[in-house]
Amino acid sequence: MLARREGGVLRVPAEFISDGVVVKGLPGLLTLLADAGFTDDEALDWLFREDPSLPGTPMQALVENRGKEVKRRAQALAF
């Protein structure tokens, strides 16, 4: 699950937030993955799975402002 409520508080993975705001490109990437048929759990798995071609994980690449590389890989999954 990408987010859940506990006691009225919305909880998301800490990596989704940087300097108090959502990591640049993350909302659009999550939409792209959902449009490609990924469930929330599959999207989380993909975001945090090592990808030697990046290197690192797609989430690390987003945090490091390498979103275009991540988006290209996600778009390729849709086909």
Domain boundaries, the chain: 20-77
Residue 3 pLDDT exceeds 90: no
**Per-residue pLDDT at 36:** 93
How many other CB atoms sit within 10 Å of the CB of residue 68? 10
Rounded Cα gap, residues 32 and 54, in angstroms: 18
Rounded to two decimals, the pTM is: 0.88
**Per-residue pLDDT at 78:** 74
Residue 11 pLDDT exceeds 80: yes
pLDDT tens, position by position, 35-71: 999 999 999 999 999 999 899 999 999 999 999 999 9
**Per-residue pLDDT at 65:** 94
Residue 23 is given by DSSP the state P
